[in-house]
Structure 1
Amino acid sequence: MTDLDPRSSIVMKLFVALQAWNIPYVVVGDTRQFPSTITSDIDLVIASGLFQKFQHLLCDFCDEEKINFVQVLKHEYEAWYCVLAWHDKSGHLWFLHPDICCHYIRLGRSYLNSEELLAGRYQPKDNSGLERGFFVPRPSHAFIYYLIKKIEKGQLTSDDGEYLNIQWQRDVKQALSLVQRFWPMPLAEQLALAATENRWSNIDSHSFKFRESLRKRAPISVKGLWLEGQRKINRLCNPTGIFIVFLGPDGSGKSTVLNRVKERLAPAFRRTRYYHLRPNWRCFSRKTQATQSPHASPPRGVFASLFKLGLWWADYFIGYWLDIYRRLVSSTFVVFDRYYYDLLVDARRYRYGAPRCLAILVGKFIPKPDLVILLDAPPEILLQRKQEVEFEELVRQRAGYKKVVNSLPNGNIVDSSKPLDQVVIQVEQIVLTYMTARLRRRQGSKGKRVWM
């Protein structure tokens, strides 16, 4: 177990906790280098009906280890993708992704239940004969689980084939029986030959044929359709993405901090999406160019400004519900560089010439982000970084941004005059704190400490 990757020690502590909690489990997939090398998710199968217990106990475990439990994505009706995150003493941001299932279900099709995957589980041994501290399925079921997974994904590498060959050789008779359970002859014979000779190129190149045959043996049931529908409705009502807005005067470091945070927090989500100022949804889309003189053009007249304000509202409202919200449902990290609030602070930049009270009124009907983060710095530093506006204007904007953000229940002010790494870590802590609190709120777990 390497000292360079703290995830290994956390994983082993989690396995000890699972034993103490009396939650039977197995690690499925290629565990030959595990846990000293963790390259992707940690696939776990636990006994049926125990996930709610597991989730609440995982919260307690994270409290003890000072880790943020930030995300649970239910990607099948019996499978949950969890995300744990924490900073080490040097400020490095670590992620751990336990992927928990009670039955092996893929796209609504149930292939293997937890009882058969847990039956006969054992602890593998290292080269010196010592137990490695975690449980795996018996070889035949480790083989069939991994084979089905690779056939479903349509990807079978030479390393995958080597692992399958090892498991096959350990229990040929039972593994062959499982292959025949999921594939008819002669496909079962082809798979058996590939496993025996460790030659998988023909299987990989014809994976579509094997996948179609596999799915015929495991059709989607009415119960499966019902549970899958419930899962999708729940995801629709409780999006697992997050919508964050960065504000600040020119020179506050928005672009630099935003890009760093977006890159570092990406492992907590399925994907990321960047916007500038507005959603720019379809008919409202317009390319804007950076300018060195944001106040050079005069304000529009009142009627032209009100018309523009209406277009902005339509873009924000329609763009949110037809674009941004669906991305949040699909677990996207949505990041805005500037937002509607900028109009309230710097109307001259957007040539707004109508009364400010009308802009405030329209703002009440603009979709609200989950978090608003103001990057603040003294005007002397802002002017040193960028000379696009006068010193007095920077003083005014800084006060205006603070007033707006302080009035928001989800507003946060970060001192961006500090070193970049410190600013990035503080922003990440704000995001992780919010996500941890949201998860606890959704699962009904109150009073738990949120670790930064």
Structure 2
Amino acid sequence: MNNEFNFLEARVEWDERHASLLKDFLDGLAFHGIRYVILKNDDGLPYENHSKDVDIVIEPSRYRDSARIIQSCYKKHGVSHYKVHKFERLRCWYGMNPDTRFAIHIDLLEGFLHKGFEMFPFDVLYAHSQKNDNGIQVLDDLMGNVVLLLHSTICYHSIKEKYAKSIAKTFQAEKDDFAVLLKDILGVSAANEMVTLLAAGRYKEIAKKGKHFSHQSKFRLLIKHPLFSIYNVADFLWEKVCRLLLNLNRYNTMISVHAPDGTGKTTFIEHFGNELGFYYVCAANDLLDTYHFRPNILPNLGAAGEKAGVMKQDKDFTNPHRAKPTGKLSSLLRMTYYWLDYVVGVPLILRKNAQFDKITIFDRYIYDFISDPERTRINLPFRLRMMFAKLTKKPDIVFILEADAETIHKRKQELTIDEINHQLKSLHRLAVSGKYFHILDAMKTPEEIAKDAIKLAFDLTTNKLQ
């Protein structure tokens, strides 16, 4: 991953639009007789939300009805695009509208599962629910903090300080009932161990033993519900196989960005990434995996040569065209070497990111061999370089930033105006070779370019409602 980008966390402010949408959705669930309970961070809902998203546990087998209701509510309240990410029985519904700068994230869960094991069945959660001051069905304080404790410990092996304070307060007030719920999930021995640590306020130690408590809970569930657990684990593993092998493209979005040096690629990627983070209601660093030019599974030839002691690497990166192109045979070998890096590295990157529905962004990609072969000392015919590019995994979207050569040269003097014009011509020739190439006007402000890119990306990678 490339760490040169300065991504920011853009927070979505919950307002009356979010409140009205959520209330309509919850009213719709009630109207259709679908029981639900808000999982955590429910204070003030639906009018206030102190979290990034809203976690709603719904009755198992009622997801399809719930999906129709939420889709209808999204459309009614002006959501233009939506995307659903599925993890086991959790569906993350992201709603967005770039024209009104609106974003919302609602999670629908059919029970509470972790790697195929159902920690908290819906009926158990619902039995420990009540209505808040605004008439919303939420977990009672006891179950809410038990869920918070086990979710933080087992899933993240970390307990935030504010969560620890809430858990400690409830544990002190309802110690016996707290222990009963823990024993039902973890078994007597592990529950007693956790209760001892809770009584001593040793939350960091609880978090460190996250794997231990996770294994204990899963063993307990396997003994209590063997067939049900085996079925759910098999379903979890099958989803993994689909994500990593059978349907890799379904869980991946790959984007590359191209332009001559000085056009503003880095600035564009930062603005674009921050906007993606806003609309997916998360930090851009959690959503994006960025790379510069190649996967770098194979080392740079100069670095490899220096390590082998056969040459000294030229590190004057301020002049990208400092070295002369190599001969035809040497160029072919270099091109083949770097092409193999894409062939091997890109699938590995995409499989890694498919596990979490991350978006992969390349700042330059193999198409740089088409527009700027001099940078890598490649001296091969255009058609041969295109052949290598066509034999490589294609991005879902390729953004090409275009501006006039004089403007680019004023921004950065690494290339001559003739070199910039040559690259712009090659990029334009490349842009007409496939529907996944999209030209952006780099004469606009970074904010305007990012907004244009967001609209294009949403039209191509999400579901349209408007």
TM-score category (smaller protein):
0.7 to 0.9
Residues 44 and 98, structure 1, Cα contact 8 Å, conserved in 2: yes
1:256 to 267, 279, 288: 267
SS in 2 for 1:136: strand
User: How far 1:329 moved relative to its partner?
Assistant: 4.2
- Counterparts of 1:255-334 in structure 2, within 5 Å, are 255-266=266-277, 268=280, 270-283=286-299, 289=315, 291-334=317-360
Question: Partner of 2:126 in structure 1?
Answer: 118
Structure 1 equivalent of residue 76 of structure 2: 64
Secondary structure class of the residue paired with 2:262: coil
- Alignment partner for residue 227 of structure 1, among 218, 235, 240? 235
Residue type at the aligned position of 1:249 = P
For residues 240-275 of structure 1, the C-alpha deviation after alignment (integer angstroms, 9 at most, x for no partner) is: 342111011222111111123234424647443222
Task: Give CA-to-partner distance per residue, 1:315-339, whole Å, 9 cap, x none.
Answer: 1111112334433444222211112
Q: Could you say if the C-alpha distance between residues 170 and 376 of structure 1 is closer, same or farther in structure 2, counting changes exceeding 3 Å? A: same
d(CA) in 2 for partners of 1:412 and 1:107? 39
Q: Separation in 2 of the partners of 1:204 and 1:171?
A: 21
- Match among 52, 58, 61 for residue 40 of structure 1: 52
2:362 maps to amino acid:
F
Matched residue SS, 2:56:
strand
- Does the 8 Å contact 1:70/1:435 carry over to 2? no
Answer whether contact 1:243 1:334 (CA < 8 A) is retained. Answer: yes
* CA deviation after TM superposition for structure 1 residue 154, in Å: 3.8
Kindly indicate whether residue 121 of structure 2 is the aligned counterpart of residue 109 of structure 1.
no
Contact between 1:344 and 1:360, CA under 8 Å: does it hold in 2? yes
How big is each residue's C-alpha offset from its partner over 1:261-298, in whole Å with a ceiling of 9 and x where there is no partner? Answer: 23442464744322222222135676685644434433
| CA deviation string 1:294-320 (max 9, x = no partner) | 344332221111112211221111111
Contact 1:59–1:69 (Cα < 8 Å) also in 2: no
1:357: which partner in 2? Answer: 383
Q: Partners of 1:204 and 1:306 in 2: how far apart?
A: 56
**1:205 pairs with 2:217:** no
Matched with 1:5 is 13
2:38–2:138: 8 Å Cα contact kept in structure 1?
A: yes
SS at match of 1:251: coil
8 Å Cα contact 2:117-2:233 kept in structure 1? no
Preserved CA contact (<8 Å) 2:90 2:108: yes
SS of the residue corresponding to residue 400 of structure 2 reads: strand
Instruction: Summarize the Cα distance change of 1:40–1:285 in structure 2 as closer, same or farther, 3 Å threshold.
Output: farther
In structure 2, C-alpha distance between the alignment counterparts of 1:273 and 1:419, rounded to whole Å: 24
The AA in structure 1 aligned to 2:205 is S
TM (normalized to structure 2)?
0.79
Tell me the alpha carbon deviations over residues 55-102 of structure 1, each in whole angstroms, 9 at most, x when there is no partner. 344333333333355443333x2222333334475x6xx643322211
| Aligned match of 2:36 | 25
Task: Find 1:53's aligned residue among 46, 65, 70.
Answer: 65
Q: Name the CA shift for 1:200/1:157 in 2 (closer, same or farther; >3 Å).
A: farther
Percent identity over paired residues: 20
> Cα gap change, 1:301/1:124 in structure 2, threshold over 3 Å: closer, same or farther?
same
Write the deviation string for residues 173-232 of structure 1: whole angstroms up to 9, x where unpaired. Answer: 86564344235557656767888xxx5614653452655543432237221221112221
Equivalent residues of 2:290, 2:361 under 8 A apart: yes
CA 1:188/1:364 → structure 2, altered by over 3 Å: closer, same or farther? closer
Once structures 1 and 2 are overlaid, which stretch shifts more, 174-183 or 27-36? 174-183
Unaligned runs of 5+ in 1: 126-131, 438-447
- Counterparts in 2 of 1:399 and 1:203: CA distance versus 1, 3 Å: closer
SS in 2 for 1:393: helix
How far residue 103 of structure 1 moved from its aligned partner, in angstroms, is 1.1
Equivalent residue of 1:282, what SS?
coil
SS at match of 2:43: coil
**Segment drifting more, 39-48 vs 166-175:** 166-175
What is the alpha-carbon distance in structure 2 between the residues aligned to residue 105 and residue 295 of structure 1?
54
Change (3 A) 1:283 1:155: closer
Per-residue CA shift, 1:354-392, capped at 9, x if unaligned?
A: 222211222220110111001111222112212233333
> Matches of 1:13 and 1:398 in 2, distance apart?
46
Question: What is the letter of the counterpart of residue 14 of structure 1?
Answer: L
Distance of 1:8 and 1:143 partners within structure 2: 28
Assess if the C-alpha contact under 8 Å between 1:241 and 1:329 holds in 2: no
Residue pair 1:161, 1:200 contacting (<8 A) in 2 also: no
How far apart, CA to CA, are the structure 2 residues paired with 1:172 and 1:114?
23
Superposed CA RMSD in Å reads: 3.3
TM, length-normalised to structure 1: 0.81
Equivalent-residue separation in structure 1 for 2:76 and 2:360 (angstroms): 31
Distance 2:338 2:160 in 1: 50
Alignment of 1:407-426 (within 5 A): 407-426=433-452
The one-letter code sitting in structure 2 at the alignment partner of 1:79 is: L
2: distance between equivalents of 1:87 and 1:286? 44
* Residues 271, 447 of structure 2: 8 Å contact kept: no
Looking at structure 1, the residues matched to 406 and 342 of structure 2 have their Cα atoms a distance apart, in angstroms, of 34
Helix, strand or coil at the partner of 2:401: strand
TM-fit CA distance, 1:414? 0.9
2:81 and 2:465 in contact (8 A); partners too: no
Gaps of 5+ in 2: 1-11, 304-313
Provide the residue aligned with 1:346 in structure 2: 372
The answer as to whether partners of 2:81 and 2:96 remain within 8 angstroms in 1 is yes
Name the SS of the counterpart of 1:316 in structure 2: helix
Q: Distance in 2 between matches of 1:7 and 1:343?
A: 48
Contact 2:75/2:465 (8 A) holds in 1: yes
Q: Which amino acid aligns with 2:217?
A: L
* Map of 1:129 onto structure 2: none
CA–CA distance in structure 1, aligned partners of residues 357 and 111 of structure 2: 23
Aligned residues: 425
